[in-house]
Structure 1
Amino acid sequence: MKKNLLLTIVAAILYSTTWSQTSYSLFNGKDLSGWHVDVPAMDTNSSAKNPFIVRDGMLVSLGNPKGHLITDSVYQNYRLRVEYRFPGNPGNCGVLIHASTPRALYKMFPKSIEAQMMHENAGDFWCIQEDITVPDMETRRGPKNEWGVSEGKQRRIKNLTDSSEKPLGEWNTMIIECKGNTIKVWVNNDLVNEGYNCTASKGQIALQAEGSEVEFRTVALTPLK
């Protein structure tokens, strides 16, 4: 009896460990199933085209018109792996995590925390109607009386290193780990940001169209226990 109970416990632990380490792609390589587009210009301009396409098995943000590609599902406690590159000119983009209310900032950005991908700034946090705390806040965010999460406030929290990105045109790997109210970001294996006391712990995941063409060859999620 005890032996059977022990085997059951061991099997449960092994199953839990395997599950927590199993990643799956949020992008199927064929179409945008599991995602929806929120591009304000498409509301009123019938000629505005969807800036998110699939090309050669990659998910591509064309950059314009500006907006977001948002997962249909809500996620909590996970590790997200994104492999991306700017194929042409250096540009701007980002991964938004814990996204919720659409168009909460500047009638464009969903309520969220952004992990910045802008060339030479990858790993910055941007607070979009959500907030997060990091060590050395005043050094990295500016004067405390200017902090905020809405228009006109100091919403940018600088990363720990701007030297982690690959040369323009090469593939970068960004890993974002969300666990409870903490968020960690790695760029090409360098820990570039770590925050705690995040005001959100779950939400949708969004990719940006923010003026620059960006190719994504991997968008994979690993659940965490």
Structure 2
Amino acid sequence: MENRTRHFLLKLMILVALVLCVIATPEGALAETPMIEPDVQPRKITPPKIDSGNFEITAVAGMLNIEDFESSFMYGARLAYHISESFFVEAGVGFAEAGQTSFERLAGDVQLLPDNDRDYLWYNLNLGYKLLPGQAFFPGGYAFNTNFYITAGAGATDFAGDNQFTLNYGAGYQVLLRDNLSVHLNVRQYVYETDILGSSKNSFNTELSTGISLFF
């Protein structure tokens, strides 16, 4: 009987000691001190923010494949107004100089167009939609906001002494290098009706270009 009493008192003392330890421990101390310190250092990435300006002006340069007249260097400019995070409207103008047709190259001195009619000018107004906003990651902890977008619209083309109504459509990829600076990669198709070579047909002219833009 005496042994049982001693065992009971011993257990009671241990229980009281544990309770006192818990009471004496500051609240949250156990939760704040992990048993195992993680050996993982988080990667610090600071992606650039998009400038609050809704206007974006872009200088563009690249190649324009003028149907029947070879590929030529092109340059131009675009001004965009961002209506929302997804939609924007864009006005653009571009310049190029048409090369020779295959017939002119084979015939020698024959010219289908005089030199002053080979200047190629187009202008348009487009609506754009951003499909896949995301981020591009580079070594050194750099991350850049990106946008994949599509555009479509209408305008006109001045070429070969004529002005033709022109439809255009295409896609682009934008990388924001800073809060007010970005680069673009574009592919666009311009379609208009022409009869330069005799019979009337639709002319498909493809632009492959890159651009640097500023927000303001």
Q: TM-score range by the shorter chain?
A: under 0.3
TM-score, length-scaled by structure 1: 0.24
Higher relative contact order (CA 8 A, sep 6+): 1
Larger strand proportion of the pair: 2
